[in-house]
Amino acid sequence: MLKLALIFLIAGLVLGALGFGGIGGAFVGIAKILFFIAIALFVIFLILAFLGGKKVKDTIG
């Protein structure tokens, strides 16, 4: 997902530099949304990993 956000960001910057400000801004906006979704998923999975890891450790030990 971060790869897709980077592609949209680069496309938006290129379009903005070429004078297509409206669509370039839209691409940058999409890139920001995808970036924050990726960060939110990372945090959620990190929390789940910590919670799940404790349960497995307590069960084995």
| DSSP line for 11-26 | HHHHHHHTT-HHHHHH
pLDDT tens digits, one per residue of 9-33: 999 999 999 999 899 999 999 999 9
What is residue 60's predicted lDDT score, i.e. its pLDDT?
67
Q: Is the overall model pTM greater than 0.85, yes or no?
A: no
Domain residue spans in the chain?
A: 2-60
| 57 band by pLDDT with thresholds 50, 70 and 90 | low
Q: Give the pLDDT mean for 38-45.
A: 95
Q: Are 25 and 16 in contact (CB under 8 A)?
A: yes
Q: Residue 39 pLDDT more than 90?
A: yes
Choose between 53 and 28: higher pLDDT. Answer: 28
Q: Which amino acid is at 21?
A: G
Q: Which amino acid is at 18?
A: L
